[in-house]
Amino acid sequence: MERPTLGTPPGAQYVAGRRRPGRGEEFRLTDPASGGELLTYRLASAEDVDEAVAAATAAYPEWSSATPADRSAALTRLAAELDSAAEELAQTETAQTGKPIRLSREFDVPGTVDNAAFFAGAARNLEGRAAGEYSGDHTSSIRREPIGVVGSIAPWNYPLQMAAWKILPAIAAGNTVVLKPAENTPLTSLMFAEAAKAAGIPDGVVNVLSGQGSSAGERLVSHPDVRMVSFTGSTAVGRRVGELAVRGVKRSHLELGGKAPFVVFDDADLEAAVHGAVAGALINGGQDCTAATRAYVQRPLFEDFVSGVAELFGRIRIGDPADPATDLGALISHRQRDAVAGFVERARAAGAVIAAGGEAPDKGHDGADLSAGAYYRPTLITGVPQDAECVQQEIFGPVLVVLPFDTDDEGLRLANDTPYGLAASAWTRDVYRSLRATRELQAGCVWVNDHIPIISEMPHGGYKASGYGKDMSQYSLDEYTQIKHVMQDTTAVARKGWHRTIFGDV
Ligand code: NAD
* Contact 245 CB / ligand 1 (< 6 Å): no
> What's the 153 CA to ligand 1 centre distance in angstroms?
8
Closest atom of ligand 1 to CA, residue 336: 25
| Count of other CB atoms within 10 angstroms of residue 11 | 17
Rounded mean pLDDT of the chain?
A: 96
Q: Is 289 an annotated catalytic residue?
A: yes
Q: What is the pLDDT of residues 211-236, one digit of tens each?
A: 999 999 999 999 999 999 999 999 99
Q: What is the pLDDT of residues 284-331, one digit of tens each?
A: 999 999 999 999 999 999 999 999 999 999 999 999 999 999 999 999
Dist CA 229 CA 249 (whole Å): 10
Domain membership flag for residue 457: no
Task: For residues 470 and 418, state if they share a domain.
Answer: no
Task: For residues 222 and 341, state if they share a domain.
Answer: no
Split at pLDDT 50, 70, 90, the class of 9 is low
* Contact 256 CB / ligand 1 (< 6 Å): yes
Residue in 93, 194, 255, 394 annotated catalytic: 255
Residues in CB range of 459: below 8 A, 6 or more apart: 444, 470, 471, 472, 473, 475, 476
Task: For residues 402 and 379, state if they share a domain.
Answer: yes
> What's the 167 CA to ligand 1 centre distance in angstroms?
16
Q: For residue 4, is pLDDT > 50?
A: no
Determine the residue type at 340.
V
Average pLDDT over residues 121-149: 94
The pick from 153, 333, 336 for probing ligand 1's pocket by mutation, whose C-beta has the most ligand atoms within 8 angstroms, reads 153
Task: For residues 94 and 177, state if they share a domain.
Answer: yes
Residue in 289, 390, 394, 445 annotated catalytic: 289
Split at pLDDT 50, 70, 90, the class of 352 is very high
Q: What is the pLDDT of residues 154-200, one digit of tens each?
A: 999 999 999 999 999 999 999 999 999 999 999 999 999 999 999 99
Q: What pLDDT, on a 0 to 100 scale, did the predictor assign at position 7? A: 45
What is the Rg, in whole angstroms, of the alpha carbon atoms belonging to the chain? 25
Task: For residues 434 and 397, state if they share a domain.
Answer: yes
Domain membership flag for residue 493: no
Average pLDDT over residues 418-426: 98
Q: What pLDDT, on a 0 to 100 scale, did the predictor assign at position 6? A: 47
* Contact 32 CB / ligand 1 (< 6 Å): no
Residues in CB range of 425: below 8 A, 6 or more apart: 260, 261, 262, 263, 276, 280, 292, 446, 447, 448, 449, 450, 451
Average pLDDT over residues 70-97: 98
Exposed, middle or buried: residue 155 (CB in 10 Å: 0-12, 13-18, 19+)? buried
| Count of other CB atoms within 10 angstroms of residue 139 | 14
Q: Let me know: does 35 contact 374? Beta carbons within 8 Å.
A: yes
User: What is the tally of helices (H) and strands (E) in the chain?
Assistant: 17, 19
Residue 278 dihedral angles phi and psi, to the nearest 5°: -65, -50
449 torsion bin: left (phi>0), alpha (psi -120 to 50), beta (else): left
The pick from 237, 243, 259, 332 for probing ligand 1's pocket by mutation, whose C-beta has the most ligand atoms within 8 angstroms, reads 237
Q: For residue 2, is pLDDT > 70?
A: no
Output DSSP code: residue 458.
S
Q: Is 255 an annotated catalytic residue?
A: yes
Closest atom of ligand 1 to CA, residue 182: 9
Q: For residue 5, is pLDDT > 60?
A: no
- Total structural domains in the chain? 2
Domain membership flag for residue 74: yes
Dist CA 118 CA 323 (whole Å): 31
* Contact 290 CB / ligand 1 (< 6 Å): no
* Contact 153 CB / ligand 1 (< 6 Å): yes
Q: Let me know: does 90 contact 158? Beta carbons within 8 Å.
A: no
Q: What pLDDT, on a 0 to 100 scale, did the predictor assign at position 3? A: 42
CATH number of the domain that 115 lies in?
Answer: 3.40.605.10
Which residue range is the domain that position 170 belongs to? 20-125+144-256+466-485
Domain membership flag for residue 324: yes
Q: What pLDDT, on a 0 to 100 scale, did the predictor assign at position 1? A: 41
